[in-house]
Amino acid sequence: MSRRSFITLLGGAAAWPLTARAQQPERMRHVAVLLAGRMDDSDLQARLAGLRSGLERLGWFEGRNIHITYRFAEGRPDRFQPLAKELVALRPELIVAQTPPVVAAVRRETSAIATVFVDVADPFGPGFVASLARPGGNLTGLTTIEASIAGKWLAMLKEITPDLARVVLLGNPKTSSFDYFQRSAETLAPSLAIELLAGRIEAEGDIERAIESFARVPHGGLALPPDSTTILHRDLVIGLAARYRLPAVYPFRHFVAAGGLMSYSIDFVHEYRQAASYIDRILRGANPGDLPVQTPTRFETVLNLKTAKALGIAVPATLLVAADEVIE
């Protein structure tokens, strides 16, 4: 065999393993997602579509190189812990957890599996992170709405109904950061000449009783912090606000699309799309404790003029101009 033939054969033999490795199927990575809401909730599905599109832009495709296990708690706090235990037992490489109570449930089950949180307003109160810059531990993620946004909700209600004198903050402390928003709203309410009441609810019947009782005194309005319980009973809340002619401000656009008066919140689809970058970096070897927590950058105001008309409200021009979307 000539020297040239030997070198060619040797080079081909050396190249063969590389070619073979390149042709091997990609290793399937396993991610679990635990959500507080219902599987059939259109808003939640839109957020998950944002998550998947973000992953695809980064080269992760379900069924090809990433397998995602979803669990939905259907708005029931009693399901958070069992579902967290179930997912941890599957030993995924990473868990995405939605809302503070769900994150807390996952945290009780594991301190080893990387966890990315979404829909969390206050990561400090529950002790999820040491700091935004360096969260430490196995958790990182994206914050949604800081407490001061409660002042924006109250100001919007006062602007759209100047004779407003009372506002009830409606939410379930077991499924939301209710106290976090209440403290902020209590601080800001006096400057707007608003009496703030805490409407703590847990179930459907509580919602009806709380709103009916509150509506007995005139010049009132509703403010809802992010909460999987009120999401679950969204149509009931919107219907009661209409029945008792109460102006209301909601934390999500889909409340307004369903007939609510107005909302001010972040772009949640964008947030979930951003969460994909955390999944990508962690699966490629990053330590979640070293990844800074992101704070929101996109906020949107949505108004429903049909609902305003039904309530006899003339929407101020300033609020119309400030709106990112007007539903007519």
Q: Which domains are delineated in the chain?
A: 29-143+268-296 (3.40.50.2300), 149-266+300-327 (3.40.50.2300)
Compute the distance between CA of residue 227 and CA of residue 175 in angstroms, rounded to an integer. Answer: 6
CA dist 323 to 125, 182, 300, Å?
A: 32, 25, 7
CB atoms within 10 A of CB 165: 15
Are residues 55 and 73 in contact, defined by beta-carbon separation less than 8 angstroms?
A: no
133-176 confidence digits (pLDDT tens): 999 999 999 998 777 889 999 999 999 999 999 999 999 998 88
pLDDT of residue 87: 98
Residue 209 token pair: 């009783």
Residue 24 confidence (pLDDT) above 70: no
Are residues 171 and 203 in contact, defined by beta-carbon separation less than 8 angstroms?
A: no
What pTM does this model have?
0.81
pLDDT (mean) for 1-15: 39
Lowest mean pLDDT among 84-93, 118-127, 248-257: 118-127
Instruction: Categorize the per-residue pLDDT at 8 as very low, low, confident or very high, splitting at 50, 70 and 90.
Output: very low
Residues 6+ apart with CB under 8 A from 3: none
Query: Helix (H, G, I), strand (E, B), or coil: what is residue 175?
Result: coil
HEC string of 257-280 equals HCCCCEEEEECHHHHHHHHHHHHH
DSSP 161: -
pLDDT of residue 319: 94
Q: What are residue 120's DSSP bridge partners?
A: 143
pLDDT of residue 95: 98
Instruction: Categorize the per-residue pLDDT at 55 as very low, low, confident or very high, splitting at 50, 70 and 90.
Output: very high
Residue 316 confidence (pLDDT) above 70: yes
Query: Helix (H, G, I), strand (E, B), or coil: what is residue 306?
Result: helix
Residue 318 token pair: 């300033």
Instruction: Categorize the per-residue pLDDT at 297 as very low, low, confident or very high, splitting at 50, 70 and 90.
Output: confident
* Inter-helix orientation angle 42-57/268-283, to 10°: 40
199-250 confidence digits (pLDDT tens): 999 999 999 999 999 999 999 999 999 998 999 999 999 999 999 999 999 9
Are residues 138 and 120 in contact, defined by beta-carbon separation less than 8 angstroms?
A: no
Most confident of 66-75, 147-156, 172-181: 66-75
pLDDT of residue 100: 92
DSSP 189: G
Residue 18 confidence (pLDDT) above 80: no
Residue 101 confidence (pLDDT) above 80: yes
